[in-house]
Amino acid sequence: MDLDLADNVALCTAATSGLGLASAESLAAEGADVVVCGRSESRLESARDRLEATGSGDVRAIQADITDPDHAETLVEETVETFGGLDHLVTSAGGPPSGSFLETPTDAWYDAYDLLVMGVVRITRAAYPHLRESEAGSIVNITSRSVREVIDDLVLSNAVRRAVIGLMQTQAREFAPDVRVNAVLPGAHETARIEELIEDAVDRGEYDSYEAGYEDWGSDVPLGRIGEPRELGDVVAFLSSPRASFITGVAVPIDGGSIRE
């Protein structure tokens, strides 16, 4: 299916790896001009090369940390100056540290809120005037299935990410009909984040090996495996596209059927 995204401009935050990069790849494969940001210069170069090999559109990789208000403003300004506008925003962020409630220090709560919620607030404030001017304006927030069903030892993700869903649903009403706003709720996908969580669990003695942890993560998924990142990226591209023109304010689980409610 042609998603009619050719020559559109998409900005994807925290998109040098994982699900953010997968989303940028899917948009690039549909012919969109794509801007990605991240903090690591080497990972930015790798992401740019990968995206340039994926699609026919132009690619820009900009070093930025969206927890910094100035960086968020500059990132949007550079995107608009380069491409003359902005049609789609995809927000992503690295996951907060794992851990239980009792072992999570107070400072970690503030850091998680700044990363997961205020990062979205800052970049959306900067991007909205340009998205409103587009005939195809859309926002997709990448969050987690933990906003629907808590995951053991991920108290920060379980609690803090839910604010993004409330924000998304509010914006969907406030920004309509000019800009559509949706979210995706990924379950386990084969990313560096999953590797980190499994390794942390091995360190805590919950698994004997990484392989045992990896197998366990897929054992409770009805489809019998964890996801491939591009499977989520393709949904993000669809939600950004005119093919989803009557969809706004929804949170789509992409988890192989893991959520039980």
Break the chain into its structural domains and give their ranges.
9-188+228-254, 190-226
- Could you tell me the pLDDT band of residue 243, with boundaries at 50, 70 and 90? very high
On average, the pLDDT of the chain sits at 94
Phi, psi of 80 (to 5 degrees): -70, -40
Confidence bin at 118 (pLDDT 50/70/90):
very high
Q: Are the beta carbons of 239 and 168 closer than 8 angstroms?
A: no
The residue ranking higher by pLDDT, 31 or 190, is 31
Q: What confidence tier does 63 reach under pLDDT thresholds 50, 70, 90? A: very high
One-letter identity of residue 230: R
Of residues 196 and 8, more confidently modeled: 8
Look at residue 193 and tell me whether its pLDDT is greater than 80. no
Nearest one of 55, 68, 56, 57 to 14, comparing CA atoms: 68
Answer yes or no: is pLDDT of 37 > 80: yes
Lowest mean pLDDT among 73-82, 166-175, 216-225, 236-245: 216-225
Q: Looking at residues 158-174, what average pLDDT do you find?
A: 98
Q: How confident is the model at residue 224 (pLDDT cuts 50, 70, 90)?
A: confident
pLDDT the model gives residue 99 = 94
**pLDDT above 80 (res 56):** yes
Q: Which of 61-70, 101-110, 185-194 has the lowest mean pLDDT?
A: 185-194
* pLDDT of amino acid 195: 83
pLDDT tens per residue, range 69-108: 899 999 999 999 999 999 999 999 988 998 999 999 999 9
Q: Which stretches within 134-245 are classed as H helix?
A: 155-160, 162-175, 192-203, 210-219, 229-240
If one counts every other C-beta atom within 10 angstroms of the C-beta of residue 182, the result is: 24
DSSP 8-state code for residue 30: T
In percent, how much of the chain has pLDDT > 90?
82
Mean predicted confidence (pLDDT) in 167-196: 93
Nearest to 119 by CA among 169, 73, 69, 77: 69
Q: Which residue has the tokens 């380069």?
A: 82
Q: For residues 245 and 235, what is the distance between their CA atoms, to the nearest angstrom?
A: 14
State the Cα–Cα distance between residues 252 and 42, nearest whole angstrom: 32
CA dist list (Å): 55 to 32, 52, 110, 170, 241: 8, 6, 38, 33, 16
CB atoms within 10 A of CB 171: 22
pLDDT given for residue 2 in this prediction? 92
235-256 burial, b at 16+ Cβ within 10 Å, e below that, comes to bbbbbbbeebeeebbebbbbbb
9-188+228-254 CATH choice from 3.40.50.720, 3.40.50.300, 3.50.50.60, 3.40.605.10: 3.40.50.720
Q: Give the residue among 167, 162, 168 at the shortest CA–CA distance from 180.
A: 168
* Token code pair at residue 38: 């991240």
Regarding pTM above 0.85, the answer is: yes
pLDDT at position 66: 86
